[in-house]
Structure 1
Amino acid sequence: MAIELDKQTREEAIASLQRYFRENMEEPLGNIGAGALLGFFIEEIGPAIYNQGVADAQARMLARVEDLDIEVHEEGFRYWRKYDEAAPGRGKR
């Protein structure tokens, strides 16, 4: 599955890369260079980050599914208990 950024996110990422170069490197990074560098990061490093996110989400979902029986468990055969608890001297039928 190819990782793609929407237009707004891509523009913000390019601006962020340009700012990083402006503040931390000797050479500024132009719009075309920033776009190319972003493309490289997305293609080369993006899948590893994406796969880790999927694995984290899967682990979280699995943990929630494992707790499902505890969260939604409902005790059966409770109808007569409410009467037995209300009148403790009445004995079971």
Structure 2
Amino acid sequence: MAEIKFSNAQKATIVDQIQKYFEKELDQDLGQFDAEFLLDFFTEKVGSYYYNQGLNDARALLDDKLDTITESFYELEKVTEFD
């Protein structure tokens, strides 16, 4: 699996969201360093689960679309004496 990386802008947005969550839901101030540390921890320890689920969802969607395409080919076939 490729390493999960975020751009600086993405990381800043996520860190901001973590800080807002801690403030709103837990009534705790979380500094930037602690929020970045928490993000790094979850990225390393939990990110793979989300990554794999995303791959499974994409695979299921692709399988579904390929089935539809395959059915469309059968619908286009003309009847011949070989059938």
* TM tier, smaller: 0.7 to 0.9
Shift of 1:51: 0.3
Shift of 1:26: 4.3
Shift of 1:66: 1.6
For 1:16 and 1:47, the matched residues in 2 are separated by: 20
Shift of 1:31: 0.4
RMSD: 1.7
Question: Which protein shows a greater Rg?
Answer: 1
TM-score by length of 2: 0.81
* Structure 1 residues without counterparts, runs of 5 or longer: 78-93
For 1:26 and 1:69, the matched residues in 2 are separated by: 54
Aligned residue in 1 for 2:77 = 75
Count of residues in Structure 1 that have an aligned counterpart in Structure 2? 78
Percent of aligned positions with the same letter in both sequences? 27
* Structure 2 residues without counterparts, runs of 5 or longer: none
Shift of 1:75: 3.2
Counterpart code for 2:24:
E
- The runs of at least 4 aligned residues of structure 1 exceeding 4 Å deviation read none
Aligned residue in 2 for 1:90 = none
